């Protein structure tokens, strides 16, 4: 199954001063909607609108408000995250081209000291975090508290879109947030999507592009990296 298209645009662009394109701003919010099941066991909104689904029929979180105010560096606006993740990878900060060299495209991910499983490189990582260009990576490291707690720079030659993350619903059990469902899985019919997911194939450490010494508040991981599981970011 091919990657699903991004949710329909709301025709709202963040303020030009926003330092992170994919971040929701203070004036934007996820709408409170009622999720129901149809006779086929598929989810739908009680007041569903055509713009709630993409062209492939996948149901997406509905967001409202206006793109004003300060950004939330730790979150993603669904429509804008999809813009930079679907198709050719774009920088999640400026929406331009990410950095590429002979080692592949640059990815910058959070990595802290409290993770539980050691991973050796190269490895595959599933993530909702977009690629990044070098100037924006440096800006992010100086502005994002999460990255300041620890970061990892990777080079990736292949990063296909493999699924979506969102809230998985059941007719009998409570909703399960932050579930990753791959394309082709029947569970897609029970998911309200929030993010597109890429799989970083054979990701390699890049310990030269973003030197930890340049960012004294951040601790760059080198060698083996601790991560909480196969889905990261």
Cross-strand partners of 23: none
Residues whose CB is less than 8 angstroms from the CB of residue 178 and which lie 6 or more positions away in sequence, other chains included: 165, 166, 167
Pick out the chain residues at pLDDT < 50: 1-6, 8-11, 15-17, 114-117, 213, 217-219, 221-230
Q: What mean pLDDT, rounded, does the chain reach? A: 84
- Give, in order, the Cα–Cα distances in Å from 180 to each of 24, 194, 202: 21, 10, 20
Q: Given this model, what pLDDT does residue 140 score?
A: 86
Return the closest-CA partner of residue 166 out of 62, 27, 28, 94. 62
Q: Given this model, what pLDDT does residue 3 score?
A: 40
Burial class (CB in 10 A: 0-12, 13-18, 19+), 144: buried
- 41-68 pLDDT, tens per residue? 999 999 999 999 998 999 999 999 999 9
- 71-93 pLDDT, tens per residue? 888 899 999 999 999 989 999 99
């Amino acid at each position: 199954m091919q990657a699903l298209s991004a949710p329909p645009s709301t025709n709202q662009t963040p303020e030009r001063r926003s330092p992170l394109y994919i971040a929701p701003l203070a004036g934007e919010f996820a709408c409170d909607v009622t999720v129901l099941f149809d006779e086929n066991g598929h989810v739908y909104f009680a007041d569903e609108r055509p713009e709630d689904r993409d062209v492939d029929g996948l149901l997406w979180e509905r967001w409202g408000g206006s793109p004003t105010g300060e950004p939330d560096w730790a979150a993603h606006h669904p429509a804008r995250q999809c813009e930079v993740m679907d198709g050719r990878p774009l920088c999640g900060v400026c929406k331009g081209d990410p950095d590429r060299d002979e080692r592949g495209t640059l990815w910058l991910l959070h990595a802290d000291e409290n993770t539980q499983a050691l991973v050796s490189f190269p490895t595959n990582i599933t993530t909702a975090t977009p690629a990044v260009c070098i100037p924006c990576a440096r800006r992010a490291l100086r502005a994002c508290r999460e990255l300041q707690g620890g970061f990892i720079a990777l080079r990736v030659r292949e990063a296909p879109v493999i699924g979506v993350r969102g809230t998985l619903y059941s007719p009998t059990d409570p909703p399960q947030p932050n579930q990753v469902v791959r394309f082709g899985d029947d569970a897609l019919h029970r998911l309200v999507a929030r993010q597109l997911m890429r799989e970083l194939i054979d990701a390699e450490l890049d310990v030269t592009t973003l030197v930890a010494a340049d960012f004294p508040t951040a601790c760059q991981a080198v060698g083996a990296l601790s991560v909480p599981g196969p889905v990261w970011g």
